Amino acid sequence: MAMKIRLARAGSKKRPFYRIVAADSRMPRDGRFIEKLGTYNPLLPKDSEDRVKMNLERVQYWLGQGAQPTDRISRFLEAAGVVEKQERSNPKKAVPGKKAQDRAEEKAEKARAATEADAAPAEEAPAEAPAEEAGEA
């Protein structure tokens, strides 16, 4: 049986509240679980002690039994000092999506066209100005 330590959503619409549970990985997210290990309330401030509550003894028991924590739970465990911090690699994190790249290219083209349009009359204007001054003198 593949065990997971994961979040099971509870609470009402737009007011999430999560239970930290040990469950079979084949069960639904909010479905049957074996044991409730704690709670997570994302609506509380990040520095609040009540935001994440875990029974660390039971969590360590399940980790010893081979349960795999999900990404969010492993971050909670790292913050609690139960698991050593893992190095995460996300090389595409800073790369914008395709639509954002297209918008940036369009914006750059418009800016380039505007500077070219502004530069062309500016080059012609100094050439005309000395001719007018010479005619007046």
pLDDT of residue 30: 86
Q: Is it the case that residue 85 has pLDDT exceeding 90?
A: no
Same domain, 58 and 123: no
Tally of domains in the chain: 2
Q: Is residue 91 part of a domain?
A: no
Token pair recorded at residue 68: 């795999």
What does the pLDDT look like over 87-135, one tens digit per residue? 878 788 888 889 999 999 999 999 888 888 777 665 555 555 555 555 5
Domain that holds residue 107: 96-137
Q: Is residue 130 part of a domain?
A: yes
pTM exceeds 0.75 for this model: no
Same domain, 41 and 101: no
pLDDT of residue 136: 56
pLDDT of residue 137: 52
Same domain, 47 and 101: no
Check: CB of residue 65 under 8 Å from CB of residue 1. no
Same domain, 70 and 119: no
Pairing state of beta strands 15-24 and 3-12?
A: antiparallel
